[in-house]
Amino acid sequence: MLVSLTAEGKRLIAENAGEVGRRVRALTANLSARDRDRLTELAGSVVRAAT
């Protein structure tokens, strides 16, 4: 199944990207730099596998 964002959805993402970034940084603040890097790699793998 292919899902795509509407123009409104794209606008909402752009509008909220900064807040999402702040929340992710807060959630991962206690991780070591190595663990944050690994988490980023794994999340990227999940996204690539889904597309």
Mean pLDDT confidence for 2-16: 92
Q: Do residues 39 and 28 make contact, with C-beta atoms less than 8 angstroms apart?
A: yes
Q: What is the DSSP string of 1-51?
A: ------HHHHHHHHHHHHHHHHHHHHHTTTS-HHHHHHHHHHHHHHHHHH-
pLDDT at 16: 94
- Where do the domains of the chain lie? 7-50
CA 42, CA 48: separation in Å to the nearest integer?
Answer: 10
Residue-wise pLDDT tens digits, 20-32: 999 999 999 999 9
CA 8, CA 14: separation in Å to the nearest integer?
Answer: 10
